Each structure stands twice: as structure tokens, then as C-alpha cells.
């Protein structure tokens, strides 16, 4: 069974991208060479600023991803800086 992670990456435009994957390093490489998301093509390159604890399923990671995507920038910064659980 693979572990899933939620990650937050910062773009060159200082915007955040939140996603899920089983391999954060490989996913960021894909984003940065243009085969990831449309966001990365337009806003990249991306730099990882947060990686979650492992989730045992894709569905659990997706729920957390959706939760984080709905947060304000300030709340995301608190998570990134370790001020939020």
C-alpha cells in the first residue's frame, strides 16, 4: 500500500499550489518541466514548502487537500510555518 501526501508548493508569482501525490519529488519535477498542472505552466516553477504526514488512502489525502484549498492564504502560511495543526 502506498502512502499519499498533501503538498503545498510556492510559485515564482508567490501563489500557492496544493496537490496530492505518492511521490512529492517526482510530482514537482513533472510540474516544473510542464507536464504537471496548468497552474505550474503559467505560474511556475514550483518549490515545495509543505508536505503532510502520510495518509493511508488517496481519499483521505484528497479530503485534506480540499480542506486546505479552501483556506485563506494566512491560514496556509500558518500551516507552512508550523503554527497550525
For the chain, list the domains and their CATH numbers. Answer: 5-80 (3.40.1440.10)
Tens of pLDDT, residue by residue, the chain (85 residues): 799 999 999 998 899 999 999 999 998 888 887 776 767 667 768 899 999 999 999 999 999 999 999 999 999 999 999 886 5
The DSSP 8-state label assigned to residue 78 in this structure reads H
The grid coordinates of residue 27 equal 510530482
- What pLDDT is stored for residue 29 in this prediction? 87
- What does the alpha-carbon distance between residue 83 and residue 85 come to, in Å, rounded to a whole number? 7
- What pLDDT is stored for residue 40 in this prediction? 67
- What does the alpha-carbon distance between residue 1 and residue 14 come to, in Å, rounded to a whole number? 34
30 contacts 72 by C-beta, under 8 angstroms: no
The grid coordinates of residue 16 equal 500557492
- What pLDDT is stored for residue 67 in this prediction? 98
pTM, rounded to two decimals: 0.88
Amino acid at each position: 500500500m502506498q502512502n499519499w501526501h498533501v503538498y503545498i508548493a510556492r510559485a515564482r508569482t508567490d501563489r500557492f499550489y496544493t496537490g496530492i501525490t505518492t511521490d512529492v519529488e517526482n510530482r514537482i519535477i513533472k510540474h516544473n518541466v510542464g507536464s504537471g498542472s496548468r497552474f505550474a505552466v503559467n505560474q511556475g516553477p514550483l518549490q515545495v514548502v509543505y508536505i503532510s504526514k502520510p495518509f493511508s488512502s488517496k481519499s483521505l489525502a484528497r479530503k485534506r487537500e480540499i480542506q486546505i484549498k479552501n483556506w485563506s492564504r494566512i491560514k496556509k502560511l500558518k500551516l507552512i510555518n508550523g503554527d497550525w495543526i
